[in-house]
Amino acid sequence: MEKATDKYEAVIGLEIHVQLSTLSKAYSRDATEYGAMPNTQVSPVSLGHPGTLPMCNEKVIEFAVRLGIACKSGIREMNEYARKNYFYADLPKGYQITQHETPICNGGFVEIKDAEGNPKKIRLTRIHMEEDSGKSLHDIDPFNTLIDLNRAGVPLLEIVSEPDFRNGQEVYNYLTEMRKLVRYLEISDGNMEEGSLRCDVNVSVRPKGQEKFGTKVEVKNLNSFRNVQKAIDYEIERQVELVENGGIVEQQTLTFDAAKGKTNLLRSKEDAHDYRYFTEPDLQPVRVTQDYIDTVKKELPPLPSELFEKYRKLGLNEYDAYLLTDTKEIALYFEDLISHTNNYKAAANWIMGTVKSYLNEKAITIEEFPLKPSTIAALIKMVDNNKVSNSAASGELFRALLKEPERDPTVLAQEKNLIQESDESALQLLVEQAVAKFPDKVEEYKNGKKGLLGLFMGEVMKLSKGKADPKVANKLVKDYLEQ
Ligand code: ADP
Ligand code: MG
């Protein structure tokens, strides 16, 4: 049976706030450190006291330009600031300094995977610079709301997308991609739990085939990627059911109750704010020149999408390339590693296998991993040259190196007796000895019982005390038996 939801299509747009990891605030010298004692990082400038003047933090411009370049946005030359006026207890100035009609970035896109895993471009409407409000704490004092103004004035970028999403999975994938991007760009730590990445979702539904969008609702207070997805799924179902029963969706702002898994009304259109935007009189417009953009571009850290493409071109499969670029730290380690070896597949296997298992086991990051990329490259080379077996390299030798990371892997392998015998003439003697032990088996082998090869190989390995290179020995045994 056709479900009601099959007759409709959801349309979703996102507004993300990214808190920038600058050392000081957007328009004052106050520190921004997370977790400091409440109200210790607030100067009269952040409080908007009479006689104080804001000033621009250049890093905010730089970070915005970095993100704009990464998203292929247009970057505006003349940037004006605007005041967005509203009253709230955690907004000491009574207004927020933001950008209204002149966002620093226009257009651009982010490539994500859709729900089926196919690539999809999400267009960006704009990215603009603004400042955060303070924080109201409702759950510490049973009778009062407490206010921490440390966050007031911390720089934010607001990233507004076009309504290009069609389901919650796409939004989830976009958030994952965006978090990866801001971390690679080193402009934000992207932690949703600490509030450095927040998002509001706009959701509407329309009958399939209809071009005109339906009325949207906005859902706020989403504190995890999974909850974003759940809130969207819930809203789509609620709106479809409403419309199917002859109702109409009203333009509302909702919050998501994660415990109950449903949305609740925060305010309806009639209570919409009038922010009385006007140009910020205390700040000069900031001019972003092409020279400046070029400089930022030159110093741009590598992007996950670029590294992904690079690894695909090196012959790695999509899965490996995706995992290797998942975090910047892993990608940078891999970059270093492949500057020491051309065996990219082996390099990827080492990172995704042996190294990652070790990191998981010790609960450490790659930055705390004791072995240098050049050491891993040396191990790969030893395996490729048949000096040690793959299992010895990723097992005993790897463990030994972890205890003495500065040691030369070749010397250590010798000490540990892990060097394989692959010298043909030395092995040939052992092969002949091994075969001579089983004259009747030789007959059987010659009569077609090829499975006996294992027996002879076992004997060779025994005689060599496990050090014979199995590939070489195997060939020698075969040649000798079949001559
Ligand atoms: P508003 O005027 O309410 O702020 P905007 O046009 O600025 O709305 O859009 C805010 C966000 O809502 C954007 O991310 C946009 O893509 C998205 N959006 C706009 N219209 C719709 C719609 N009909 N359904 C879903 N999302 C929408
Ligand atoms: Mg808007």
Does the pLDDT value for residue 352 go beyond 90?
A: yes
The reply to whether 297 falls in a domain is no
For residue 262, count CB atoms less than 10 angstroms from its CB and return exposed for 0-12, middle for 13-18, buried for 19 or more: middle
Judge if 316 and 278 occupy the same domain.
no
Q: In what order do the strands lie in the sheet with 95-98?
A: 95-98, 82-85, 278-279
Q: Which of 202, 204, 210 to mutate to test the pocket of ligand 1 (most atoms within 8 A of CB)?
A: 202
What is the rounded distance in angstroms from the CA atom of residue 450 to the CA atom of residue 478?
A: 10
Judge if 93 and 242 occupy the same domain.
yes
Instruction: Supply φ then ψ for residue 347, to 5 degrees.
Output: -60, -45
Distance 202 CA to ligand 1 centre (A): 6
Q: Which residues line ligand 1 (CB under 6 A)?
A: 11-15, 160-163, 202-204, 213, 216
Residue 416: the pLDDT is 87
Judge if 261 and 123 occupy the same domain.
yes
What is the rounded distance in angstroms from the CA atom of residue 271 to the CA atom of residue 468?
A: 81
Q: Looking up tokens 């450490």, which residue turns up? A: 364
The reply to whether 293 falls in a domain is no
What is the rounded distance in angstroms from the CA atom of residue 61 to the CA atom of residue 322?
A: 30
For 43, which DSSP code? Answer: -
The stretch 121-147 carries a mean pLDDT of 96
Number of domains in the chain: 3
Judge if 119 and 256 occupy the same domain.
yes
The pLDDT mean for the chain works out to 94
Judge if 73 and 211 occupy the same domain.
yes
The reply to whether 390 falls in a domain is yes
Distance 152 CA to ligand 2 centre (A): 22
Ligand nearest to the CA of 200: 1
Q: Which atom of ligand 1 is nearest to the CA of 14?
A: 14
What is the rounded distance in angstroms from the CA atom of residue 345 to the CA atom of residue 334?
A: 11
Does the pLDDT value for residue 194 go beyond 90?
A: no
The token pair that represents 47 in the structure block: 């409080």
Ligand nearest to the CA of 201: 1
What is the rounded distance in angstroms from the CA atom of residue 279 to the CA atom of residue 475?
A: 81
In degrees, rounded to 5, the angle at the alpha carbon of residue 308 between the alpha carbons of residues 20 and 324 is: 80
What is the rounded distance in angstroms from the CA atom of residue 113 to the CA atom of residue 157?
A: 24
Q: Which tens digits make up the pLDDT trace of 388-441?
A: 989 899 999 999 999 999 999 999 998 988 888 777 777 888 888 899 899 889
The reply to whether 332 falls in a domain is yes
The stretch 342-348 carries a mean pLDDT of 97
Residue of 154, 118, 114 whose CA lies nearest to 133: 154
Judge if 405 and 429 occupy the same domain.
no
Domain that holds residue 105: 4-287
The DSSP annotation for 161-190 comes to EPS-B-SHHHHHHHHHHHHHHHHHTTS---
What is the rounded distance in angstroms from the CA atom of residue 192 to the CA atom of residue 226?
A: 11
CATH number of domain containing 462:
1.10.10.410
What is the rounded distance in angstroms from the CA atom of residue 242 to the CA atom of residue 217?
A: 13
Q: Which of 17, 174, 216, 275 to mutate to test the pocket of ligand 1 (most atoms within 8 A of CB)?
A: 216
Share of the chain above pLDDT 70, in %: 99
Instruction: Supply φ then ψ for residue 130, to 5 degrees.
Output: -155, -175
The DSSP annotation for 245-302 comes to TT-----EEEEEETTTTEEEEEEEGGG------EE-TTSPPEE--HHHHHHHHHTPPP
Q: Which atom of ligand 1 is nearest to the CA of 202?
A: 26
Does the pLDDT value for residue 10 go beyond 90?
A: yes
Q: Which tens digits make up the pLDDT trace of 66-123?
A: 999 999 999 999 999 999 999 999 999 999 999 999 999 999 999 999 999 999 999 9
Distance 174 CA to ligand 1 centre (A): 17
The answer to whether 252 and 218 are in contact (CB under 8 A) is yes
Q: Whose CA is nearest to atom 17 of ligand 1?
A: 13
Among residues 415, 435, 453, the one where a domain terminates is 415
The stretch 23-48 carries a mean pLDDT of 95
Does the pLDDT value for residue 1 go beyond 70?
A: no
The reply to whether 352 falls in a domain is yes
Judge if 41 and 161 occupy the same domain.
yes
The reply to whether 204 falls in a domain is yes
Residue 2: the pLDDT is 64
For 36, which DSSP code? Answer: P
The reply to whether 372 falls in a domain is yes
Residue 53: the pLDDT is 96
Among residues 375, 395, 415, the one where a domain terminates is 415
The reply to whether 338 falls in a domain is yes
Residue 418: the pLDDT is 86
Distance 284 CA to ligand 1 centre (A): 30
Judge if 306 and 272 occupy the same domain.
no
First to last CA, the chain: 71
Judge if 35 and 133 occupy the same domain.
yes
Among residues 415, 444, 460, the one where a domain terminates is 415
Residue of 155, 191, 199 whose CA lies nearest to 20: 155
